[in-house]
A and B are shown apart, each in its own frame.
Chain A
Amino acid sequence: MDQNSLHRARNKALGIAHGVGLFLAMLVICLPGIWIVLSSLRPTVEIMAKPPVWIPRELSLDAYVAMFSGVGKGGIPVFDYFRNSLIISVTSTVIAIVIGMAGGYAFARYRFRAKSAMFLGLMLTRTVPGIALSLPLFFVFARLGIIDTHFGLILVYVALNVPFTIWLIDGFFRQVPKDLAEAAQIDGCTRWQAFWQVEFPLAGPGIASAGIFAFLTSWNEFALASQLTRSINSKTLPVGLLDYTAEFTIDWRGMCALAVVMIIPALTLTFIVQKHLVGGLTSGAVKG
């Protein structure tokens, strides 16, 4: 074999190894998801079987039918939970993004006293595990009478998301050259117009990704929601999963079915938004 064909063979082998490696990595990442979908479609016996049954023998949509068939017939108020989840997640995301934009812009563009200390303070709030807050929050909320309300949970999620959105959006505004807003102001814009006409469109993809993160955090949050909600007035989908646990039994199949119902909107949203998450929008603004 001459050197050329040796080199070609090695490249080919590397390519195959690359593919196999990628497949294995994706398998590990996707397996829990696939397992949930599979489990929602098969009987409990098969779910609990040891050793695990990899290829299902029968598939049925019974769990889904039961879930939507109303309370008393093995169903749960899934529409109420869905509505609650949607209201709480969307509202808290919108608020967190608005505050995050204002805060991120301020941190990225302005000089003010104790700026780094404030920024650090915001980040430090992220170090406190949410669950550690559940008891104090419960007491305060109980006093204020906002247990089991949308408002209460929205408040919590906004507080949870704001430091993160500020941090993320700050980074995206920093990438937009300052010259652009100045050029816009010279071109006749007010500061406000310069922001909306130039800086916002350029930081847009970043703001969208901060939005996804905030939405998913709220949509998936369980620990605090389970403490601060009581009834169909405010229970969210993750809390709804607990409806499948009884004193002595757990309906794994139903739980998995509800989990699938939860995943679908989150997945759809991510797919829709990720198209807009194109990087490199700022290229060409300045020298280079």
Chain B
Amino acid sequence: MATVSLKKLTKSYGPVAVVHGIDLEVADREFIALVGPSGCGKSTTLRMIAGLEDVSDGLIEIGGRKVNDLPPRSRNISMVFQSYALYPHMTVRENLGFSLKIAGAAKEEMDRRVAEASGILGLDQLLDRRPSQLSGGQRQRVAMGRAIVRDPDVFLFDEPLSNLDAKLRTQMRTEIKKLHAKVQSTVIYVTHDQVEAMTLADRIVIMRDGFIEQVGTPDEVFRRPQTRFVAGFIGSPPMNLHEAAVDDGQLLFASGERLPLPSQFKASVGTGDKVVFGLRPDDIYPTGHGISSGEDADVHQMDLPVTVTEPLGNETLVFAEFNGSDWVSRMLNPKPLRPGDRVKMSLDLSQAHLFSAETGKTLRG
């Protein structure tokens, strides 16, 4: 069990910097997800923690010990690769026991720990098979088993579920969560899937272009995004984000349409400011088909034309046109709507977000 801390961690390939001096403290037994679009430096960061990439500058500490120059084997970590990276010439049993064999563990010890890991992951029937004889989900389990057997201080996951189909992914996600509850290790989990990050992690680190945009609990990054990028990245379907100008206590959109300036931002913006207005699909709904945010709700109503509907069973995503583009809204207890229908929409402005159009930072005071 260990803490992990990154201090001014930098990675560059020649003149090209891909990670720009990031700082991060991971608490003992914490489940941290690094999330961001491809090329944001999340995998590189993970590989530096694993010792598979050299650190260009900065510091990595695991359990308070500087590990910058230690080889991977001396860091007491284990890693699950996106590709699983199972040894194809070994059986599942040998794959699981490989690290113990290298460490020179006794046969009984090895058998005991392999049995333990295979028990946790339900691999008992597969121990004598080779990786080529396993399905994707089974390979994924073996890869996790190999990580568990080492009993590491820190688990590193590099997009472990991205090669599985949607159903299996959901299933394995639950298993990873259970696993963390069981083994109680520090976990650093890289993914580009914000749903995975939200469901699994204690805290989420959102990265973009080699910088950390925001670190916070799933609730924080969802409800209080610090930047326009985070607002657009977290949440599915994504937040509606539209540029507007502040004009005499109102938001003036490019199409000439207006919305009242949400009261929580009245103090922080003034006439002439260029802003980005954001509203989650949950906070814009056909009147009577959403959940009010409670006493503080600041509901503004307007008629909008429906362009497309996407029924999901218990809810329907309704795309309605405003300011020249489609705004996605979530309709609970759906009623049938057809494109072209005009529908009365409720916009809960108390839940709205405003970001500076220039810096992308939140304007919340």
Chain A residues near B (Cβ < 8 Å): 177, 179-180, 182-191, 193, 197-198, 201-202, 281-287
Q: Are B85 and A284 in contact (CB under 8 A)?
A: no
**A286 in contact with B84 given A185-B52, A187-B146 (CB within 8 Å):** yes
Q: A180-B87, A285-B86, A285-B88 are in contact. Are A189 and B77 (CB under 8 A)?
A: no
A-B residue pairs in contact (CB < 8 Å), sample of 12: A182-B79, A182-B81, A183-B81, A185-B71, A186-B72, A187-B150, A190-B73, A193-B102, A198-B89, A285-B83, A285-B84, A286-B83
Q: Which of A182, A191, A202 gathers most chain B CB within 10 Å? A: A182
Q: Which of B73, B102, B132 lies in contact with A283, CB distance below 8 A?
A: B132
Question: In the complex, which residues of chain B have a beta carbon less than 8 angstroms from the beta carbon of A190?
Answer: 71, 73
> Contact partner of B98 among A179, A187, A191, A284, CB < 8 A?
A187
B86–A177 touching, CB < 8 Å? no
B52 x A182 contact (CB < 8 A): yes
Decide if B134 touches A287 in the complex (CB within 8 Å). Answer: no
- Chain B residue with minimal CB distance to A181? B85
Min CB distance A267 to B, Å, is: 29
Given A179-B85, A183-B86, 10 further pairs, Cβ under 8 A: A177-B83, A179-B83, A182-B50, A183-B79, A183-B85, A183-B87, A187-B146, A193-B102, A285-B85, A287-B82
Output the residue of B72, B136, B139 with the most chain A CB within 10 A: B72
Residues in A whose Cβ lies below 8 Å from that of B89: 198, 201-202, 281
Contact of A188 (CB < 8 Å), options: B84, B86, B102? B102
| Cβ-defined partner of A285 (8 Å) among B52, B87, B150 | B87
How distant is A207 from chain B, measured CB to nearest CB, in Å? Answer: 14
Is there an interface contact between B163 and A284, defined as CB atoms closer than 8 Å? no
B77 x A186 contact (CB < 8 A): yes
Which of A186, A191, A287 has the most chain B CB within a 10 Å cutoff? A186
Residues of B within 8 A of A177 (CB): 83, 85
Compute how far the CA of A136 lies from the CA of B24 in the bound complex, rounded to whole angstroms. 65
In the bound complex, do residue B102 and residue A189 qualify as a contact, i.e. CB atoms below 8 Å apart?
Answer: yes
Q: A24 to B80, alpha carbons, bound, how many Å?
A: 54
The chain B residue sitting closest to A187, CB to CB, is B99
- Does B174 sit within 8 A of A, measured CB to CB? no
Instruction: Report B-chain residues with C-beta under 8 Å of the C-beta of A201.
Output: 89
Is B166 part of the binding interface, using a Cβ–Cβ cutoff of 8 Å? Answer: no
Task: For residue B327, give the distance in angstroms from its CB to the closest CB of chain A.
Answer: 38
Which residues on the B side are within 8 Å of A180 (C-beta)?
Answer: 85, 87
User: Which residues in chain B, 151-175, are within 8 Å of chain A measured between CB atoms?
Assistant: 163
Contact A284 B79, beta carbon cutoff 8 Å: no
Query: Is the C-beta of B8 less than 8 angstroms from some C-beta in chain A?
Result: no
By the criterion CB–CB under 8 Å, are A284 and B50 in contact? no
| C-alpha gap A189/B102 in the complex (Å) | 7
- Please tell me if the beta carbons of B87 and A198 are within 8 angstroms of each other in the complex: yes
CA distance A282 to B87 in the complex (A): 8
Question: B361 at the A/B interface (Cβ < 8 Å)?
Answer: no
Given known A283-B88, A284-B130, contact A189–B73 (CB-CB < 8 A): yes
Q: Is the CB of A281 within 8 A of B88?
A: yes
- B278 within 8 Å of A (CB atoms): no
Partner of A282 from the list B78, B88, B146 (CB cut-off 8 Å) is B88
Among residues of B, the one whose C-beta sits closest to the C-beta of A178 is B85
Which of the residues A185, A281, A285 comes within 8 Å of B72, measured between beta carbons?
Answer: A185
Q: Which of B52, B81, B134 contacts A284 (CB 8 A)?
A: B134
Residues of A within 8 A of B84 (CB): 285-287
* CB-CB contacts below 8 Å: B271-315 with A: none
Residues of A contacting B50 in the complex (Cβ-Cβ under 8 angstroms): 182, 186
* A287 and B73 in contact, given A187-B99, A282-B88 (Cβ under 8 angstroms): no
Residues of A contacting B99 in the complex (Cβ-Cβ under 8 angstroms): 187-188
CB of A248 to closest CB in B, whole Å: 60
Q: Which residues of A contact B77 (CB under 8 A)?
A: 186
**Separation of A180 and B150 alpha carbons in the complex (Å):** 17
B133 at the interface (CB under 8 A from A): yes
Chain B nearest CB, measured from A77 CB (Å): 45
Answer whether residue B36 sits at the interface, using C-beta atoms and an 8 A cutoff: no
Name the CB-closest residue of B to A282.
Answer: B88
Per CB-CB distance, the 3 closest pairs between chain A and chain B, nearest first, are A284-B132, A284-B131, A286-B83
Q: Which residues of A contact B136 (CB under 8 A)?
A: 287
- The docked-state distance in angstroms from the alpha carbon of A210 to that of B50 is 35
Which residues of chain B are near A187, meaning CB under 8 Å? 73, 78, 98-99, 102, 146, 150
B73 & A284 in contact (Cβ 8 Å cutoff)? no
Q: Chain B residues near A282 (CB, 8 Å)?
A: 88
- Residue interface mask B110-141, A partner, CB < 8 A = 1: 00000000000000000000111110100100
